[in-house]
Amino acid sequence: MPSKPVLWITRALSDNTLARARKDYDVILDPADNPASAQSIIEHSQKVDAIIPCHSEIFTENVVNQLHDRVRIIANHSVGVDHCNLKAFEKRGIVVTNTPDVLSDATAEIAFLLLLGAARKAVEGDTLVRSGQWTTWSPSFMVGQQVTGKTLGIIGMGKVGQVMAKRARGFDMVVHYHNRSRLSAQEEQGAVFHESLDTLLPKCDYLSLHCPATEATKGLINTDTLAKLPKGAILVNTARGALVDETALLESIESGHLYAAGLDCFATEPCGNPALAKHQNIFTLPHIGSATYDTRDAMGFRALDNLDAFFSGAEPRDRLV
């Protein structure tokens, strides 16, 4: 009987994912559940045929070049692959996959939570109640921004962006968007397409980011682009921290140009940015956009689907290189 492929799962995935993986693979798992260092990745590569990493494992060109020839596939447990040097993997002939589609609903839920929380002063209100400082009420108390009927701008109208637009329509919001290419009329569902940010940003009461972090999009939200938003706008980011110049964001918040922000990702993770945490009109979460039981199972199964296809000689559904 042929031996099972050896699979290294770098982080503690869902119980259902691990149970399925152990049926078809000899699984190596670190019970400490810590991000794997570059040296650890290189050392593990000597004894495995495949790796399921998360975005916490960084595959630079140097790391990829030192992977053992035994490694044949990297089946990412994530949609974003900015932690992987795809060109280096391609040169090595190592297949790379991701897990698209399955986390769109969960991420859009968090994006809308952040939008509502930033608009309605959730941090300030929660702090008042928890600290015992809620001692009064008046018509001017805790007045925030309305969401219903306002204009939402979306940058990146992929699967998550489209679900976000759908949720926004439930609040009677008008949706405008910028994307690399225009969607079909059926996909747009009435959303207004903008070829450039120059025309999109001035329309936005709310701006939600759903595009990948690439060389072209890093620092996309900066002093210049923030200035093009109307005074009193609200920024939401559930995509990647690298999209936002956090210094420029702070300046816009402190000047009063931005009313608030809702952030699930940061330039530095974990820990985020202590300077952002000082502002109660910045609603923050610790990068939990896809953190539901349903989605974690779906992500793990999608990664395993890609592995199963590869080791059966078929083309993985989500192959990137």
User: Catalytic amino acids?
Assistant: 240, 269, 287
| CA distance readout (Å), 264 to 18, 56, 155, 258 | 27, 15, 16, 17
Whether the bond into 270 is cis, omega within 30 of 0: yes
Q: Give the closest residue to 54 by CA, choosing from 119, 99, 107, 103.
A: 99
Cβ neighbours of 52 (radius 10 Å):
30
SS3 75: strand
Cα 31 to Cα 101: distance, rounded to the nearest angstrom: 28
Return left, alpha or beta for 52; rule: phi > 0 is left, psi -120 to 50 is alpha, else beta: beta
Cα 286 to Cα 297: distance, rounded to the nearest angstrom: 20
SS3 294: helix
String of DSSP letters for 97-166: E---STTHHHHHHHHHHHHHHHHTTHHHHHHHHHHT------TTTT-----TT-EEEEE--SHHHHHHHH
Q: Give the closest residue to 285 by CA, choosing from 269, 306, 308.
A: 269
Cα 78 to Cα 153: distance, rounded to the nearest angstrom: 25
